[in-house]
Amino acid sequence: MELCQACALIVVQPLVEAQDLVKHFAQGGGLVGGPRRTVHAVDGVSLQVGRGETLALVGESGSGKSTLGRCLLRLIEPTSGLLRFEGVNLLDLAPAELRQARRRMQIIFQDPVGSLNPRMKAEEIVAEPLVIHELATGPGARRARVTELLARVGLPDESLGRFPHEFSGGQRQRLGIARALASGPVFVVADEPISALDVSIQAQIVNLLVDLQTQDGLSFLFVSHDLRVVKILAHRVAVMYLGRIVETGPVAEVYEHAAHPYTRALLSAVPSPDPARRRLRIVLDGDPPSPLDPPPGCAFHPRCPLYASMRDERCRTVRPALSPFLGGADSHPVACHHAGPDA
């Protein structure tokens, strides 16, 4: 089939693209005392999310997942790097243009308490994006849209007039989901969106996200610690460790042929109610690395079982690049000097 140039562009152009994204924070100094230090939260990340695609982001607590998600929407300013949304350089947009773009890109925050205005009722919270972007304006239209959204996340009409503190933790989380979906975004950063939900409600939300993707071609960056849900929901997965992506690829490939020792440890630690399914757990010894002072070479080497047995100098001195290892059909990008089927 021949494609005109514009169509071809749409096909090849990812919806979201980040290149070499860096985010550093300052900590210490001033009133708190102690030396002023730099937190290397995100340390050179490149990724793409296609239209209608779900990219899952997994990795160690504190490895920079939420920071990366907020950078992608420019909710915080990256220290450096390139950022494109629908082909437009996001970092070039003026505040008014950015506000416009926000209708099409939304976030479900990891922390519902911190992100829901305690003085607003549920109805106002979910309607806020509709108000800001002047959507669903007819009389009664806004309330209808809000009740529909609440129903889709499993909250009854009785919720409309209640304040955030009058909900349970999982109910608050679902309020955040309803609000993020209200304006009809094309890209949603979903930061641990189902972490407070029981398996049945989780299933309801996951099915809702998949339905929206099938119907409207939504794209997701899905940050999650739940590796079982990631396997079901995502097309591709990226594994983060200390501010960097250490392995990425199609979900089935990464799960079945994990090549990075950190990914393997992670996959081995999923708790299971079925004792037979509890695989041999790889325990990570040693201190977790500090983003104030990332280890030289491979950031994982102080805890890496491969380094512990081989003591390869390169692990300690040379930072491994994220490049495809030669694993035949299962080849996908990994940042490890010793990645490979034999490792």
Partner 1 sequence: MNATPLLSVRRLVTTVRLGSKDVPAVNDVSFDLQAGQALGLVGESGCGKSLTAMSLLRLLAAPRVRVASGEIWFEGRDLAQAPEPELRQVRGRRMAMVFQEPSAALNPVVTIGDQVGEPLRVHAGLSKKQAFAAAVELLEQVGIPAPAERARAYPHQFSGGMKQRAMIAMALACRPTLLVADEPTTALDVTVQAQILELLGRLRRELGMALLLITHDLGVVAETCDDVAVMYAGRIVEAAPVKQLFAQARHPYTAGLLSAMRTLDAPSKGDGRKRLQEIPGTVPALGRAPAGCAFADRCGHAAADCRQTIPSFDPLPDGRHHVRCLHPI
Q: Which CB, 186 or 190, lies closer to ligand ATP?
A: 190
For residues 303 and 241, the answer to whether their CB atoms sit within 8 Å is no
Q: What is the DSSP letter of 318?
A: S
Q: Which of 62, 22, 57 is nearest to 43 (CA)?
A: 22
Tell me: does residue 169 bind Mg ion (CB under 5 A). yes
Tell me: does residue 288 bind partner 1 (CB under 8 A). yes
Q: Which CB, 13 or 204, lies closer to ligand ATP?
A: 204
> Which residue(s) pair with 190 in the sheet?
108, 222
Site for ligand ATP in 106-145 (CB under 6 A): 110
Tell me: does residue 224 bind ligand ATP (CB under 6 A). no
Tell me: does residue 113 bind partner 1 (CB under 8 A). yes
Neighbouring C-beta atoms of residue 220, cutoff 10 Å: 25
Site for ligand SF4 in 304-333 (CB under 6 A): 304, 306-307, 315, 320
Partner touching 301 among partner 1, Mg ion, ligand ATP, none, CB below 5 to 8 Å by kind: none
CA distance 154 to 150: 6
Partner touching 338 among ligand ATP, Mg ion, ligand SF4, none, CB below 5 to 8 Å by kind: ligand SF4
Beta strands per DSSP E along the chain: 16-29, 33-49, 54-59, 80-85, 88-89, 105-108, 187-191, 219-223, 236-241, 244-250, 323-324, 333-334
Site for ligand SF4 in 274-303 (CB under 6 A): 298, 300-301
For residues 259 and 286, the answer to whether their CB atoms sit within 8 Å is no
CA distance 118 to 115: 9
Phi, psi of 53 (to 5 degrees): -115, 150
Q: Which of 207, 261, 267, 210 is nearest to 237 (CA)?
A: 267
> DSSP string spanning 227-258?
HHHHHHH-SEEEEEETTEEEEEEEHHHHHHS-
Tell me: does residue 276 bind partner 1 (CB under 8 A). no
Give min distance, CB of 283 to ligand SF4, in A.
15
Partner touching 204 among ligand SF4, partner 1, Mg ion, none, CB below 5 to 8 Å by kind: partner 1
Partner touching 50 among ligand SF4, Mg ion, ligand ATP, none, CB below 5 to 8 Å by kind: none
Q: Which CB, 101 or 160, lies closer to partner 1?
A: 160
- By rule CB under 8 A, what string of x and - marks binding of each residue 17-56 to partner 1? --------x-xx---xxx--x-x-----------------
Site for ligand ATP in 9-68 (CB under 6 A): 25, 27, 39, 41, 61-67
Give min distance, CB of 61 to partner 1, in A.
3
**Which residues would be at the binding site for Mg ion (CB under 5 A)?**
66, 110, 168-169
